[in-house]
Amino acid sequence: MKNIIFILLTLLASTTVYSMDLTDTQVKNLVKNAQEARLKAYAPYSTYQVGAALLSEDGQIIQGCNVENASYGLTNCAERSAIFSAVSMGKKNFQAISVVTKDGGSPCGACRQVINEFNPDMVVIIAKEDGTVVAKKTLRELLPEAFGPKNLQDTIECTPKK
Ligand code: THU
């Protein structure tokens, strides 16, 4: 019995470690890409430029920046820009995302929810404009007890047909 508990605990620990298991080079590369994306931000209203870089399971990095709008509410955040671009490219499996702002700001609630849609264990790297990493967390830590696809699994058959 003890052995089984030990094996289960080891398996659980290794799963957790695996999800945060990015090499230094991968982290640096993601931050560099987010810095680069930040320079493309369209933020004439807030002037708060945000860059994001998403690491896809196939190793590709997809950049995104915030795109503001004169009607304010239509603004799209950098993280969501990156995810929507990646999905439009046919990618749906992501390992990590980095976000760069001038002050190391954390992803907003809407972006946390969208990241959760694709991988609750996604590693989120938060950095300042000079590349200093201020936090490296899983999405689960940033958005505990999230509502997500799992909540709708049983309702799919109930979706009204046309
Ligand atoms: N912004 C992002 O791009 N990501 C976030 O997670 C927080 C906020 C953008 C939206 C807006 O263009 C600017 O930052 C100020 O809110």
- The per-residue pLDDT string of the chain (162 residues; one tens digit each, 9 = 90 and over) reads 666 666 665 555 544 444 479 999 999 999 999 999 999 999 999 999 999 999 999 999 999 999 999 999 999 999 999 999 999 999 999 999 999 999 999 999 999 999 999 999 999 999 999 999 999 999 999 999 999 999 999 876 655 655
pLDDT at position 14: 44
Q: Which residue among 63, 75, 84 is best mutated to probe the pocket of ligand 1, counting the most ligand atoms within 8 A of its Cβ?
A: 75
Residue 50: CB within 6 Å of ligand 1? yes
Q: Which helix or strand (DSSP H or E) is residue 7 part of?
A: helix 2-20
Q: What is the pLDDT of residue 71?
A: 98
Q: How far is the CA of 111 from the centre of ligand 1 (A)?
A: 9
Does the beta carbon of 27 lie inside 6 Å of ligand 1?
no
Are 131 and 32 in contact by the 8 Å Cβ rule? The answer is yes
Q: Considering only CA atoms, which residue is closest to atom 14 of ligand 1?
A: 48
Kindly tell me the burial class for residue 1, based on how many C-beta atoms sit within 10 Å of its own C-beta (0-12, 13-18, 19 or more): exposed
Indicate the burial class of 70 (C-beta count within 10 angstroms; 0-12, 13-18, 19 or more).
Answer: exposed
Catalytically annotated residue among 36, 57, 68, 79: 79
Domains and CATH numbers, the chain: 22-144 (3.40.140.10)
The residue whose CA has the least distance to atom 7 of ligand 1 is 108
pLDDT at position 105 is 98
Q: For ligand 1, say whether the CB of 67 is within 6 Å of any of its atoms.
A: no
Q: 79 an active-site residue?
A: yes
